[in-house]
Structure 1
């Protein structure tokens, strides 16, 4: 079972637990939120290391995955699919285009839009991206049984549903 965050005001070394970032007393009301922050930071760091070996940055592989699976997409559709913003997607597509992994062409049905499509060079990258994600999954789930992995996934999906629901509820951000 994964260690939990130490109680507020305690030293992780005293509890026999290691955390990557000390838990400040001000985070005492949100130990799960602080743990998510720490896990997300480390996950992105390891993803970055794995992806850098193949010439990508975190997030670019997600764009490529969607393009490989769905084919050419309008940039606005990629923004929606990845829950991104237009400026970030523009920079991502520009960098992927400069690297030779995507190209843009006019959209035949909407003259104001362009389609982003994977190049042949990106198809050679696909297997390496898949291997990187498999390796990342192995790092994340090391020492977990199949049941623990399933339970972790179910818990993360519940947390995501809670946050999606909160994001659509204007009262969720108000003081209770």
Structure 2
């Protein structure tokens, strides 16, 4: 196993995998945030754009559910994105209280820059891995995600 290039607190020895996940997530999020800043986006806005690029005209509630962020974060992001000319929000015809989100031409033009950002982040992240290691990592990462999410569900049921 490679030796960490940074100082690991002694208490992290109680959860070396969890601490490694924390370090990985922090480094990945910081690199992604820097790349997003170059595109004049804030972290999380690319996720909203990606959802709308796949299916334009979603309600704010649908977007909220699909990206897994809290209501205030999504509302603030959508407002900033509307101010930047990436999308418009309009009341739904069936219920004026429901807001439907549509991309503008400027928002639709973000498809390739966002795809390029994900490709570049993937290349940076997997630079020192073989194809097999990268595939294994993805499987393991999703297995850990499922274990954590299933544990949360199980804990909620037993309370």
**By how many angstroms is 1:110 displaced?**
2.2
> Which position in structure 2 is the counterpart of 1:87?
72
**By how many angstroms is 1:171 displaced?**
6.2
- Please, which of 26, 29, 33 is the counterpart of residue 41 of structure 1? 26
TM-score where L is the length of structure 2: 0.93
Q: Give every structure 1 segment of 4 or more consecutive aligned residues whose post-TM-superposition deviation is greater than 4 Å.
A: 171-174
Q: Which has the greater radius of gyration?
A: 1
- Please, which of 84, 87, 96 is the counterpart of residue 111 of structure 1? 96
| 2:44 counterpart of 1:59 | yes
Unpaired segments ≥5 residues, structure 1: 4-14
Aligned partners of 1:126, 1:171: CA distance in 2, in Å?
Answer: 38
Cα deviation, 1:28-72, whole Å, max 9, x if unaligned, reads: 211111111111111011101111111111111000000010111
Aligned partners of 1:173, 1:49: CA distance in 2, in Å?
Answer: 41
Distance 1:147 1:173, change over 3 A: farther
| 2:123 counterpart of 1:132 | no
Say what the alpha-carbon RMSD is for the aligned residues: 1.8
The alignment of Structure 1 onto Structure 2 pairs a total of residues equal to 159
Unpaired segments ≥5 residues, structure 2: none
**By how many angstroms is 1:83 displaced?**
1.2
| 2:15 counterpart of 1:18 | no
